[in-house]
Chains A and B, each alone.
Chain A
Amino acid sequence: MNRLTLNTLRGLGASFGRFAAIMAITAISCAFYSGVKGCSPLLKGAAWKYFEDTSLADVRVVSTLGFSDEDAAEIIKGEPFYTGYGCYSADLFTEGDRGQVTVHVMSYSPAYSLNTPFLTEGRLPSASGELLMDAKQSEDLSLSVGDKVVFTAEDIEDKLAVTEFTVVGKALSPLYTTDNRGVTNVGNGEIAAFAYIPEEDFSFDAFTEIYLGVKGGKTCTPFGDDYDFISQSAVRSIETREEEFLESRRESIRNEALDEMSEEVEKLEDAQRELDINRHKYEDSKEELRDSEELLKKQEETVSVAGEEALKTLEALNTSYNDLAELASTCGEIDAWLTAYEGVSLTVLPQDMRDSFTRIQTIYDKNNVAANIGEQLSFYVLNDPVTQAEEKAAAKAAVSAVNEQVRSASSSTMAQLSSQIDAINDKMANPGQDYEKLVAAKEEIAEAKKELKKAGRKLKEAQLEIDEGRAEIDKVLDELEEEIKGGRLYVTARKDFNPDCMTYGLDCDRVDSIADVFPVFFVLLSALVCWSAMTRLVEQKRSEAGTLKALGYSDASVIAQYVLYALAASVIGSVAGVLAGFKFLPRIIYECYTTMYNIPGFTDGFDPKLAGICAGCAILCNVVSVLVTSAGELRSSPASLIRPRPPRSGKRILLERIAPLWKRTPFLTKVSLRNLLRYKSRFFVSVLGVCGCTALLLTAFGLKYAISGVLDAQFKGVDRYSGICTLDEEISDEEIEKVISTAKDIPEITDVIPAVRVLHGIPGRKRTVNAYFTAAEDISAIVALTDRDTGKELPCVPPENECYITEKLSILTGIKKGDMITPIEGFGALKVAGVTKNHIEHFVYLSPESYKRVFGSCRTDTLYFSADGLPKKARRSEITSAVISCEGVTSAIFMEDGVSNFYSLFKSLDAIILMIILFVAALTLVILLNLADINISERTRELASIKVLGFYDKELSSYVFRENIISAALGIASGLILGIFLESFVIVTAETDAVMFLRGLAPWCFGAAAAVMVIFVLAADIFIKIRLMGIDMAQSMKAVE
C-alpha cells in the first residue's frame, strides 16, 4: 500500500472523533434533506397507487330523480368517460355502543368497475345478508367480523330488501381519504361508518348515484392541475347535458308511473264503457216510458172528456130533477094551506105566508106553470068562508086543479129524469174495460219510472266512482310531475365528493414546502461545520505536510491525502444519510399521516436524482473546503511548514480600553474574552452554528405554535358559536321560526342567531378569492370582531353598505381597510370598514340590509347556535338529532365534532414538526460537540500547561466553557432573532389559502428553543469535561505540535 494512503488511513483512526463528526453531520443533513424532500412524492405516489389500484372514480353524479339502467348507461357511454357504474346508497341507523348511530350503506357488486373496497380483514360480501364493514369505524361502533347488524330507517322497506346482515369483512373505501365519514340530514347528522352490502339487498327502484372514470384520469397525478382540468371538464360535459338527462329521466318516470297504473286505468275505462252502455239503455227505456205515458195521457183525456159530458148532463138532469122536486113539494105546501084555511077567515095576509106565496109563485114562474097561484091562495085565505063559501070553493078548486096539473106533470118528468140520471150514474159507476186498461197502464208506468230512477241513481254513482278514480290517477300524475319538475343532477369531481383527498395533496405540499426551507439551512450549517473541521485538520497536519514536501512529495499528493480524508467521511456519511433518509423519514411521516388518512400501501422509494444531488452537494462541500484550506496552507515553503507555527499572539481587546470595566472583570473571564477574539474564526463558526441551530429550533417550535394554536385561536378566540345548523333552500319563514324555537327550547342552547352565509367571489388587487358572506343582525354574537391592527373590538355590525373582511382575505386579495369590494355575483360595492382576525376560511361580515342591497335578496340559510358550556358527546348528538328532525333543516353539527378531523390533521403536522425538532437537535449536538472538540484539540498544550499549574478539573473546564457560554449566548440570542424571520418565512410557505396560521411567536417558543440549546450546550460541556480529563499533561508538554 502506498505509504501516503496508509498515513491517511492511520490518521482516520487517530482523529476518529472529527472523522465521525463530519460523517454524522453529512449523514444527518443528507438524511433530513433527502427524507423530507423525498417524502411528498412518495406520499403522493402511495395515494396515487392506492387510487389506481382501487380505481377511485373521477366523477360522481347524484340525481334527485335517481337513474334507471338506461339513464346510467347513457351517461356512462358519454364522452369523456371510459367506465362507470350506477349504485345505491342510503344513510341507515343501527344500534351502536352508546345508542343509535348512522351508517352510510353502499351497494357492492363485483361488477362495479370503480371504487373497489380495500379489504383489510375477512372477505367481500358475496351473498345476500352479508356486509363489509368500515375498517375505521367511529369509536361508537365496534363491529367485528361475524357480528350481526340490523338496520332501521324511515320507510326501510323502500330502501332495503334485507335488514339484517352479518359482517363478513372489513375494508377501507377509496371514497374516504380520511377518517371523516361526512354528514347526513338524518339522525344526529353524523355518519359513524360506511358499509357495503350486496347490490340486490337494496330495494330502490333506481340507482341513487353513478360513479364515472374519466379517460386520461389515471395517467396524471391526482394532485396536479392536469388532473384537475381533466376532471373539471368531465364534470362540465355532464352539466351541459343536465336538462337532457333529467328530461329523459322524467319521461321514463312518467312512463313507469303510467305503466304501473295501466291496469287501474283499464279497469276504469271498462267500467266507463259498461256504464255508457247502461246509460244508453237507461235513456232508451226512459224514452219508451215517456211515449207510453203520453199515450196514456191521451187516453185518459178522452176518457175524462166523456165523463165530463156525462157529468154535465147528469148535473143538468139533477138540477131539473131538483127543480121538479121543489115544484112538487109546493103542491104539498099548497095542499096544507088549503086544508088549514078551510074555515078560517083572515083580513090580513101574514108576512111569512106572503113570502111563501111569492116563493111558490117564483118556482111556478120558473117552471112555466101558468097559474097565478099566489093570488088564488091569498083570495082563498082572506075570504070569509061563511059568506063567500062559493067563491072560496072556486078558488080552492082552481088551486087544486093547478096543483093536480103540476103534480102529475112533474111526477112524470121526474120519473123520466130519474131514469135518465140513473142511466148516467149507472154508466159512470161502471166505466168499463178501457178505463181499467188505462189504470193498469198507469200503474205500470209508475212502476217503470221508479225503477228507472233507481237505475239513474246507480249510473250516477258509478260515474262518480269512475271520475274519482280518474281524478286520483290524475292527482298521482300531477304529484309525480311536481316531484320530477324540480329534479337536479349533482355532478361532482373527486375533489368535491372526496374533498379530503385534496387535503392530502395539500398536506404533502406543506411537507414539501417545509422541506424547501429547513434542509437548505441544514446543509448550510453542516457545510460550515465541515469547513471548520477540515480547516482544523489541515492546520494540524501542517508540519507533517511540510515534512512530506521536504521529502519530495508534490503538493497534489499531499492535498490528495486530505481530499481522501474528506471524501471518505462525506461519502460514507452522505450515502448512509441518503439511504437512511429515504428509508425511514417518509415512512415515519406516512405513519403519522395514516393515523388520519386511510391510504394503505405505502412503499419505500428511492429517488436517485434527489439522492445524487443531495450526496453530491455534501461531498462537494467537504472537498471544496479541504481544497481551499489546504491549497492556502501548502503555498508556504516546506521549511516554514516544518517549523512550529508561532503561537498566535494575544491581543488587547476593545474592552480593555475601558479600564474601570476591565479591572472589575474576573481574571479568567478576561482570558476567555481574549481567547474568543484570538480564535476569531472558531468563535465565528460557533456563534453561527449555534445561531443557525437556534433559529431552526425556534422555527420548528414556532411552526408548532402557529399550527397547533390555530384551532384554539379560531374556535376559542374567534368563533363564539358552538354549532351551526344549515337550512334547506325551500324552508318557509314559519319553519325557520319553528326550528329556532325548537333549538331555544333545548336547555343547553343559550342563543340562536339566524344568518345568511353564502360563498361569493371577490376580485382583489392580486387575485380573486372566494369568501363566505355572513350577514346577521348582530355579528358579534357569532364571532369576535377583533380589529387586526388595533386589537380592539369593532362595532357589532358594520354600518350600511360597509363590511368587515377577514385578515387572510385581505392578505390574499390585497384589499385593505377603506377599499371598496365588488362581489362577483353582486350588484353593488361595499366599503371595507375593518379587517378582523380570523384563522380558518375567509369571511365578509355585513348587515342583512347591505346584503340585500348588494345581492338582491337575503334568505336566512344558517342558524348559529351557542351552547352553555360544551355538552357531552352523547348529549350533543341528542341535541343535533332534535334540531335535524325539524322540517327544512339540512344539517346541524357542533363545531367540536366537525373539527375533530382538523385536530388530527394538525396532530400529524405536529409529528412532522417533532421530527424536525429531533433532527435539528441532533444536528445541534453534533455541531456543538465538533466545535468543542476543535476548541480543545487546538489548545491541548495550553490546557495541559494550565492543568500542570494545578487548576482543578472544574476550573479548567470553566476556563474553556466560559468561552463556549459566551459564544453560545451570542449564538442563541442572534438565533432567536434570526428565527423570528425564518419562522415568519416558513409559516407563509407552509400555509394554505384557507388557513392563516398564527403569526408571531409565543414566549414559550423562545423559551423552548433557548432551553433546548442550553441543554445541548451543557451536554457539550460534559463532553468537554471528559475530553479535558483525558488530556495527558506529560504527553502534551513534550513538543510543539
Chain B
Amino acid sequence: MSYVSLKNVCKRYKMGEITITAADDISFEIEKGEFVAITGESGAGKTTVLNLLGGMDTCDDGKITVDGRDITSLSRKGLTEYRRHDIGFVFQFYNLVPNLTALENVELAAQICRDSLDPASVLEKVGLSHRMNNFPAQLSGGEQQRVSIARAIAKSPKLLLCDEPTGALDYNTGKTILGLLQDCSRKRGMTVVVITHNQAITPMADRIIRLKNSRVNRIALNPHPTDVNDIEW
C-alpha cells in the first residue's frame, strides 16, 4: 500500500440551491519521499484536495489514508493531532503570525509537536540565520515564505503540503523556494506535495497529478526529475 492514498474522494459545497462539487471522485497514490506536483487550472479543485489531505477539511465521500492511517475517520481532535504531528503547511500568502519574529514563528510550530527540529538551525538551513529576530513585516515576501517553510519543516512532518508557494513571488525567489522544497524531499526524505498552476515546474516532480474540473485528469510519473536550477520558465 502506498504511503498516501486517496480513493474516490468527493467534496461538495452546498450553496443554497446549487451544489458545487469541488472534488469529484478523486483517487491517487503517493509514495513516501516523493516530490509531488498538483497542477490544474484555477478552480480545478487543487486547494480542495490539498485541504482534504492536510486534514483542514473533511471529505464527503471516499477514503484518504496517510502512512496507513485512515484520516477520513478521524474526529475533530484526531484531525488536529494529525495536523499537529504529521503535516507541514506552506501557504501562498505565508500566513506568518505577524506578532512573532521569524524564529518565534518557527518556535510556535516546533513547540507543539513531538520530534521537532531546532528552530534556529532550521532557519539557518533556509538561509535566514541573519533575519531570525525580524518580524514578518520586516521581511520580504521570499524571506517570509522561507520562514513559512522553516515553520513547516521544523515539525519534521510526514507530509509537507504547499499551496502555490511561489504564487506571490518573483521568478528568482520562487526558484529558491522550490529548491528548498525539493531539498526537503531529496535530502530529508520528506513527502512533499506542491500545488502549482505553473506547468513549467512539473519536470522537477517525481509525480505529477493533473486535475481538471474537479477530477483527476492525468497522473504522470517522472522517473528522472530535473533539478530546480535547470528549469527555466
Contacts and interface: CB of A to CB of B under 8 A. Distances in A.
Contact of B99 (A678, A947, A955): A678
Interface stretch (A201-209, A310-318, A377-385, A646-654): A646-654
B80 A649 contact: no
A953 interface: yes
A650 B104 CA distance: 11
Interface stretch (A119-127, A238-246, A851-859, A1033-1041): A1033-1041
B130 interface: no
Contacts of B175: none
12 contacts: A649-B138, A650-B135, A667-B111, A671-B104, A674-B99, A942-B97, A946-B97, A949-B151, A950-B83, A950-B87, A951-B84, A952-B80
B42 to A, nearest CB: 12
A950 B137 contact: no
Given A649-B138, A674-B99, 6 more contacts: A944-B95, A945-B95, A950-B83, A950-B113, A953-B80, A1037-B163
Given A674-B100, A948-B89, A650 B137 contact: yes
B143 to A, nearest CB: 14
B93 interface: yes
A675 interface: yes
A946 B138 contact: no
B100 A948 contact: no
Given A674-B100, A949-B84, A953-B80, A648 B95 contact: no
Interface string A659-690: 00000000100110011001000000000000
Contacts of A650: 98-101, 135-137
Contact of B112 (A648, A671, A955, A1037): A955
Nearest to A679: B99
Q: What is the predominant secondary structure among interface residues of chain A facing chain B?
A: helix
Nearest to A941: B95
B138 A671 contact: no
A152 to B, nearest CB: 82
B7 to A, nearest CB: 21
Contacts of A648: 98, 137
Nearest to A956: B80
**Chain A to chain B: the 5 pairs with minimum beta-carbon distance, closest first:** A950-B84, A649-B137, A945-B95, A950-B83, A650-B99
B81 interface: yes
B36 interface: no
Interface of B: 47-48, 51, 54, 56-57, 76-77, 80-85, 87, 89, 91-93, 95-101, 104, 107-109, 111-113, 135-138, 151, 155, 163
A1034 B57 contact: yes
Given A942-B98, A1037-B163, A1040-B93, A667 B136 contact: no
Contacts of A667: 104, 107-108, 111
A1038 B167 CA distance: 12
Contacts of B151: 949
Contacts of A649: 98, 135-138
Contact of A647 (B76, B87, B136): B136
Contact of B51 (A947, A1033, A1039): A1033
Contact of A952 (B77, B155, B163): B77
B54 to A, nearest CB: 7
Contacts of A955: 112
A951 B112 contact: yes
Contacts of B100: 650, 671, 674
A950 to B, nearest CB: 3
Contacts of B54: 948
A1031 to B, nearest CB: 11
Contact of A949 (B76, B108, B137, B163): B108
Interface residues of A, number: 31
Contacts of B77: 952-953
A950 B98 contact: no
B47 A950 contact: no
Interface string A87-102: 0000000000000000
A1034 B51 contact: yes
Contacts of A942: 95, 97-98
B119 to A, nearest CB: 11
B23 to A, nearest CB: 12
Contacts of A949: 83-84, 89, 108-109, 112, 151, 155
Interface of A: 646-651, 667, 670-671, 674-675, 678, 941-942, 944-953, 955, 1033-1034, 1037-1040
A256 B80 CA distance: 107
Contacts of B80: 947, 950-953
A901 to B, nearest CB: 61
B91 A945 contact: yes
Nearest to A676: B99
A953 B98 CA distance: 21
B155 to A, nearest CB: 8
A950 B136 contact: no
Contacts of B113: 950
A951 B91 CA distance: 17
B108 A647 contact: no
Contacts of B76: 953
A325 B172 CA distance: 216
A967 to B, nearest CB: 15
B98 to A, nearest CB: 4
Contact of A1037 (B82, B95, B96): B95
- Which of the listed residues B91, B97, B100, B136 has the most CB atoms from chain A within 10 Å of its own CB? B97
Nearest to A950: B84
Nearest to A675: B99
Contacts of B98: 647-650, 678, 942
Contacts of A1033: 51, 56-57
A1039 B167 CA distance: 12
Contacts of B138: 649
A670 B91 CA distance: 25
B26 to A, nearest CB: 16
Contacts of B92: 1037
A671 B56 contact: no
Nearest to B99: A650
A178 B129 CA distance: 82
- Which of the listed residues B87, B96, B112 has the most CB atoms from chain A within 10 Å of its own CB? B112
A151 to B, nearest CB: 80
Given A650-B100, A955-B112, A1037 B91 contact: yes
B135 A651 contact: yes
A849 B136 CA distance: 87
A422 B223 CA distance: 219
B120 to A, nearest CB: 14
Given A674-B100, A950-B84, A646 B56 contact: no
Contacts of B135: 649-651
Contacts of B56: 948, 1033-1034, 1037
B25 to A, nearest CB: 20
Contacts of B99: 650, 671, 674-675, 678
B112 A646 contact: no
Contacts of A1034: 47-48, 51, 56-57
Contacts of A941: 95
B108 to A, nearest CB: 7
A782 B223 CA distance: 107
- Which of the listed residues A647, A950, A1033, A1039 has the most CB atoms from chain B within 10 Å of its own CB? A950
Contacts of A948: 54, 56, 83, 89, 95
Given A667-B107, A1037-B163, A950 B81 contact: yes
A936 to B, nearest CB: 15
- Which of the listed residues A646, A670, A1037 has the most CB atoms from chain B within 10 Å of its own CB? A1037
Given A650-B98, A1033-B51, A946 B93 contact: no
Contacts of A651: 135
Contacts of A945: 89, 91, 95-97
A964 to B, nearest CB: 16
Nearest to B85: A950
Nearest to B54: A948
B97 A950 contact: no
